[in-house]
């Protein structure tokens, strides 16, 4: 019974957030996604979200993003995507280079050569910050990482990652635009944006029309089919395959006029992203940060924020815009499911597809790069 109440709380809170953003202009300027993340953090820190609700959290996290990705892509203009390919590619290269430099520098700074298996921590960080948690789990097995070290890296990454993501969504765009250009379209390419006022439309009965129900059923079928196919491939590439398939399904759906023109599909996808944001933020708990290993905690903090600064520094020479840098960093540091979250905070849907593509490349490369880094650091 209590799990059902918690699930309803997670699903219902975004509606409250959207109502408040629609009613109060200063909250709308902050953004619905930033507010959702803040509410989730408060839930986690207050102890209202603990191990008893782990299954509810995992189910919601596993369901919301796969359903959201096609819904977010359905209203996109496919012909615009190819014109955004060059800058994200360079941003990906710069981001990976920044992570490598930060991992090596941090290994030396935190006396990694004096700590047993600290090179494996460096390998884990390259894997997780070029791909995500699936790579972290895979590298644990590949490198035979001690369970205590693995849990420490995973816990600290969640806490630091929450602060990092909150910075990107709340201040990142304004801060980086001091040194990077703003996102601009070509003369013949319009920038797709949305506002939180638009998001609030999803809670109005007029949006929930029959066409949107049909689109949602198509989305369910796509996700179910992708999940079935995913189970047929080796476990090491299951997540890559799954995200690739639902992304491809979203692109295919956007080419069908009746799906592309259905009002409310993007808003519904963003509502699911708000649910995901609250759930994932609520998993960060103060109790999980007790007995901190200062070397590992400092190493992770150093890698996350130094790699971000290096990424911005390198992007400046190529004149890569701030939104592309932010979504690239989020795709690698936080993994592809967070791309729509960050794109929502930036109010720029044009960066969703490049961000997801970058995240898929990171998923594919993460295990190999992490393993090679661990080998490299073992010779330092």
- Predicted confidence band at 113 (pLDDT cuts at 50, 70, 90)? low
pLDDT exceeds cutoff 90 at 303? yes
| pLDDT-above-90 percentage for the chain | 20
Residue 122 is predicted with a pLDDT of 92
Give me the long-range contacts of 200-206 (CB less than 8 A, separation at least 24): 200/18, 200/19, 200/21, 200/22, 201/264, 201/267, 202/18, 202/264, 202/267, 202/268, 202/270, 202/271, 203/15, 203/18, 203/19
Residue 287 is predicted with a pLDDT of 55
| pLDDT-above-70 percentage for the chain | 83
| Average pLDDT estimate for 351-379 | 83
- Predicted confidence band at 134 (pLDDT cuts at 50, 70, 90)? low
DSSP string, 153-183: HHHHHHHHHHHHHHHIIIIIHHHHTTTSPPP
pLDDT (tens digit per residue) in 220-246? 999 999 999 999 988 767 777 887 788
Token couple for 232: 């047929």
Instruction: List all residues 6 or more positions away from 148 whose beta carbon is below 8 Å from its beta carbon.
Output: none
- Predicted confidence band at 139 (pLDDT cuts at 50, 70, 90)? confident
- Predicted confidence band at 85 (pLDDT cuts at 50, 70, 90)? low
Residue 2 is predicted with a pLDDT of 75
Distances (CA, A) of 47 to 41, 50, 76, 93, 115: 10, 6, 40, 40, 34
Residue 289 is predicted with a pLDDT of 54
3-state secondary structure 97-154: HHHHHHHHHHHHHCCHHHCCCHHHHHHHHHHHCCCCHHHHHHHHHHHCCCHHHHHHHH
Contact 335, 127 (CB under 8 A): no
| Average pLDDT estimate for 50-69 | 82
Distances (CA, A) of 117 to 108, 114, 130, 371: 14, 9, 21, 13
Alpha-carbon distance of 191 to 186, in angstroms, equals 9
State the chain's mean pLDDT as an integer: 80
Say how many residues make up the chain: 380
Contact 60, 275 (CB under 8 A): yes
- Predicted confidence band at 58 (pLDDT cuts at 50, 70, 90)? confident
pLDDT exceeds cutoff 90 at 140? no
Q: How does DSSP classify residue 335?
A: -
Residue 220 is predicted with a pLDDT of 95
More confident residue, 200 or 231: 231
- Range with lowest mean pLDDT among 6-15, 80-89, 106-115, 305-314: 80-89
Q: How does DSSP classify residue 232?
A: T
- Predicted confidence band at 192 (pLDDT cuts at 50, 70, 90)? very low
- Predicted confidence band at 193 (pLDDT cuts at 50, 70, 90)? very low
| Average pLDDT estimate for 254-265 | 84
Token couple for 123: 């390998």
């Amino acid at each position: 019974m209590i799990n059902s109440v918690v699930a309803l709380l997670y699903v219902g809170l975004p509606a409250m957030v959207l109502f408040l953003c629609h009613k109060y202009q200063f909250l709308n300027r902050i953004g619905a996604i930033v507010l959702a993340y803040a509410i989730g953090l408060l839930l986690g820190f207050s102890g209202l979200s603990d191990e008893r609700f782990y299954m509810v959290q995992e189910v919601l996290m596993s369901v919301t993003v796969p359903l959201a990705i096609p819904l977010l892509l359905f209203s996109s203009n496919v012909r615009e995507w190819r014109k955004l390919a060059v800058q994200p590619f360079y941003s990906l290269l710069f981001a990976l280079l920044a992570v490598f430099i930060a991992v090596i520098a941090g290994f030396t700074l935190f006396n990694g050569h004096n700590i047993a298996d600290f090179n494996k921590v460096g390998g884990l960080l390259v894997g997780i910050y070029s791909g995500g948690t699936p790579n972290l789990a895979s590298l644990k097995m590949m490198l035979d990482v001690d369970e205590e070290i693995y849990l420490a890296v995973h816990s600290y990454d969640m806490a630091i990652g929450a602060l990092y993501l909150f910075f990107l969504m709340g201040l990142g765009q304004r801060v980086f635009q001091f040194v990077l250009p703003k996102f601009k379209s070509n003369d013949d390419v319009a920038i797709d944006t949305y506002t939180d006022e638009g998001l609030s439309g999803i809670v109005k009965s007029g949006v929930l029309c029959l066409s949107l129900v049909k689109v949602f059923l198509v989305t369910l079928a796509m996700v179910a089919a992708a999940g079935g196919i995913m189970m047929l491939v080796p476990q090491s590439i299951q997540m890559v395959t799954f995200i690739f398939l639902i992304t491809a399904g979203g692109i295919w759906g956007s080419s069908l006029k009746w799906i592309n023109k259905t009002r409310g599909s993007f808003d519904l996808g963003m509502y699911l992203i708000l649910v995901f944001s609250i759930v994932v933020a609520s998993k960060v708990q103060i109790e999980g940060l007790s007995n901190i290993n200062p070397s590992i905690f400092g190493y992770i903090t150093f890698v996350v924020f130094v790699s971000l600064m290096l990424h911005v520094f390198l992007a400046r020479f190529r004149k890569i815009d701030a939104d592309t840098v932010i979504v690239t960093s989020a795709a690698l540091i936080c993994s592809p499911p967070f791309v729509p979250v960050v794109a929502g905070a930036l109010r720029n849907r044009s960066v969703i597809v490049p961000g997801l593509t970058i995240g898929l490349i990171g998923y594919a490369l993460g295990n190999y790069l992490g393993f090679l880094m661990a080998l490299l650091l073992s010779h330092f």
